[in-house]
Amino acid sequence: MAEFASADALLEATRKARAAGYTEVEAYSPFPIEGLADATGMERNWVPPIVLGGGVVGCVGGYFMQWYSAVVSYPINSGGRPPHSWPEFIPVTFELTVLVAALAGVAGMLLLNGLPRLSHPMFNVREFDLASRNRFFICLRSDDLQFESARNFVRQLEPLGVWEVPA
């Protein structure tokens, strides 16, 4: 793992690492950096489809619940309106669409990120505390095929420091 002082240096280093053939590259920064995820080789961002799915489930499920209760399970005459008085089912359908989509989005994001988790090998490096403050880190993982050469590779990127992450 190597430490850098600026976002651009990290972006540069990540691109170089990918160009040099490393596949298991992780980049850590104290704020989101545009293009960094692509540089690490992120493939598909599944968050939008998950949110859409949640929205569809909330919408259809919410409407079905009201239809089922008002038409099948418990029909009551309310001011002479038909049991299936759909315009009045819209507010609850809308709210449930938003609610389920939001819950699915947050849960999906955490799940895809493998969070929450209590511990991670990265936290064993003391300097990594600064990843949430002002430093930028790149980590080449040991399950990479080229890991043997990783230490020399990161040295030549002129980092502030290089550390080994204990597994």
Partner 1 sequence: MSEIDTRLERWGYASVSDKIADIVLARPTHWIWGVGFLVTAAGSAALFGAIVYLFVKGVGIWGIDIPVAWGFAIANFVWWIGIGHAGTFISAILLLLRQKWRTSINRFAEAMTLFAAGIAGLFPILHLGRPWFFYWLVPYPNVMELWPQWRSALVWDIFAISTYLIVSLLFWYLGVVPDLATLRDRATSRVKQVAYGLLALGWRGEARHWARFETVYLLLAGLATPLVVSVHSVVSLDFAIAIVPGYHSTIFPPYFVAGALFSGFAMVLTLAIPMRHFFHLEDFITVRHLELAAKVLLACGWIVAYGYFMETFIAFYSGDPYEIAMVKDRFFGFYGPVYWTVLTCNVLVPQILWWRAARRSVWTLFALSLAVQLGMWLERVMIVVQSMHRDFLPSSWGLFIPTMWDWIILGGSIAFFFFLFLSFLRLMPAISIYEMRKLIREEGVRS
Pick the closer one to partner 1 by CB: 79 or 166. Answer: 79
Angle at 24 between CA 114 and CA 47, to 5 degrees: 40
Closest approach, Cβ 88 to partner 1, in A, equals: 4
Closest approach, Cβ 164 to partner 1, in A, equals: 17
What residues make contact with partner 1 under the rule CB under 8 A?
A: 7, 14, 26-33, 36-37, 39-40, 42, 45-48, 51, 55, 65-66, 69-70, 73-74, 76, 78-79, 81, 85, 88-89, 91-92, 94-96, 98-99, 101-103, 105-106, 108-110, 112-113, 115-120, 122-123, 128-134
Question: Over the range 32-64, which residues count as b (16 or more CB within 10 Å of their CB) and which as e?
Answer: ebeebeebbeeeeeeeeebbebbbeebbeebbe
Pick the closer one to partner 1 by CB: 120 or 151. Answer: 120
Residue 105 CA to residue 155 CA, distance in Å, equals 39
Closest approach, Cβ 58 to partner 1, in A, equals: 10
The sign one gets for the Cα dihedral 146, 147, 148, 152 is: positive
